[in-house]
Chain A
Amino acid sequence: MSKPSSLTMVRIEEAPVRAEFVRDAEATARLPVVVEKPLPFLFRLYSKSWLRKAMILVVLALVWEAYGRYLNNDLLFPTFSATVSAFVTDIVSGVLPARAWSSIKVLLMGYGCGIALASVLTGLAIMSRIGTDFLETLTSMFNPLPAIALLPLALIWFGLGNGSLVFVLVHSVTWAIALNTHSGFLSVSSTLKMVGRNYGLSGFDYIRKILIPAAFPSILTGLKIGWAFAWRTLIAAELVFGVSSGSGGLGWFIFENKNSLDIPHVFAGLLTVIIIGLVVENLLFRAIENHTIGKWGMQS
């Protein structure tokens, strides 16, 4: 009996009995609290991502300008203002737009071919097991191989011209897009796949109407990475072998101006590459994103 008695030592306090109450609806309706009110103007401004990014750009430009003035050596590091004025002269003279256009033309050709090739490869991969193995093997073989390393070979095969540029571009674009698209296809939820088959979809229709939209976040990431790879590869390739058919691209523009020690123009060339990158990323891809996965609530 000693054990139970030790338990009773603990005094159990019981909760008090309280009266019930019900609030009538009228009393709750007259709340003195503001249910919804707009936030202060500056706060709303700060929540715009484009504005925050623009601020970062302005600060970077100011730091650049300050350092350039402090160094005071146009040959090593021209100021932001000198770069901008070189940029403006080159734009006005039409040199820079022409060079940029010839780069972009080649870039789009390579990018387009890369997308087409990646679509074929991932299409095969999703339809058959041997296709999957084929894609996985090719990707693990070629994805780590820098596109530039293929340039000497490309020059032998396709000669000094756009052909070899497009070849290295395709190589740099295809694997990134194929890899992302394929992993996107694989991660489509099994419920959605079953829904698609329930509708009687199969083959190409099934890929187009179910898999591609469902895997669109990964596909878009692949396209972005592919675009960045393509730019890098193109500029690097132009720097290495330079001119083709009279007027070269941006890489060649940079190379030429470096040779004549026009460093502000070199910077203007680099600035163009950066601006095109920013525009494509922040306007084009962002717009696609907002109109697709953003609207669909598929963005994490």
Chain B
Amino acid sequence: MMMTNDITPAPSPLLEVGGVTLQYKTPRHLVTATYRIDFQVYQGDRFILLGPSGCGKSTLLKAVGGYMTPTEGEMRLKGNLIRSPGPDRMMVFQEFDQLLPWKTVRQNVMFPLQCTHRLSASEAEERAMHYISKVNLEKFADSYPHMLSGGMKQRVAIARGMAMEPDILLMDEPFAALDALTRRKMQDELMMLWDETRFTVLFVTHSIPEAIKIGTRILLLSPHPGQVKAELNGGLQGEEAVELERRIQTMLFADTIEEAENV
């Protein structure tokens, strides 16, 4: 274990998830979504939770968001135990209805800034417009969400999350409901935004190419219940990316074979 210290003279992690087991109740069953998950996210990471459906990756993200309490283990953000939802962990959801329909784009981005009393109205507006222009929506600042396309709504949600300048941005398959073309464009835009501001993001996806394209570090989860399968380095180009994609696919595929044999 001393070996790792030689490679990275480790700074303390921003988010530390230690042995987290998550369970929830349906009317008839107690479901274990994840079992003893460990991972650390460092400042500036684009950390991906990747896995097939049913591996509890969204549940895990919701737990980091503070919407669920782990039955075992603990999660710490900057050393503080995560107990409830809060604006230091802004969420970007998959659903298009995450914007408040009674507020314009500008008001939607300003609202959390004002709710938390961090900034005065004029400062909040300035900050909001700054991030709205970063996602190229200045022209739509006074539009209501129902007038926007799906991709634009997700861009507003991202701007809203970033405007809060949270410790960590939590993204729950934000591009999954978009068409393939818009999706690619949004991925490129997200990378450009990251190049400019270097925020820390925890990103859930079930798409292997998306994980490789976006992630600097990829946590691979196996399903039923979610367990850590591997932690890989992303950010690869060309041949290496293809190779990584093949590796991940084999790992996930091996899983399904094992499962089939167990049945």
Contact = CB atoms under 8 A, between A and B. Distances in A.
Given A216-B102, A292-B102, A298-B101, A198 B146 contact: no
A41 interface: no
Contact of B146 (A199, A200, A297): A297
A79 B115 CA distance: 60
A18 interface: no
B145 A297 contact: yes
A191 B100 CA distance: 10
Contacts of B115: 199-201, 205, 209
A197 interface: yes
Contacts of A43: none
A297 B95 CA distance: 17
Residue among A194, A199, A209, A297 having the largest count of chain B Cβ atoms under 10 Å: A199
Contacts of A297: 101, 144-147
Contacts of B65: 194, 198
Contacts of B91: 194-195, 198
Contacts, number: 64
Interface residues of B, number: 25
Contacts of A189: 95, 97
Contacts of B95: 189, 191
B144 to A, nearest CB: 6
Interface string B84-112: 11110111010101101110000000011
A69 B112 CA distance: 66
B114 to A, nearest CB: 9
B98 A200 contact: no
B45 to A, nearest CB: 21
Nearest to B94: A191
Interface in A61-105: none
Interface string A200-219: 11000100011001101000
Interface of B: 65-67, 84-87, 89-91, 93, 95, 97-98, 100-102, 111-112, 115-116, 144-147
The 10 closest A-B pairs by CB, nearest first: A297-B146, A197-B85, A213-B102, A199-B115, A296-B101, A191-B95, A199-B112, A296-B102, A191-B98, A198-B85
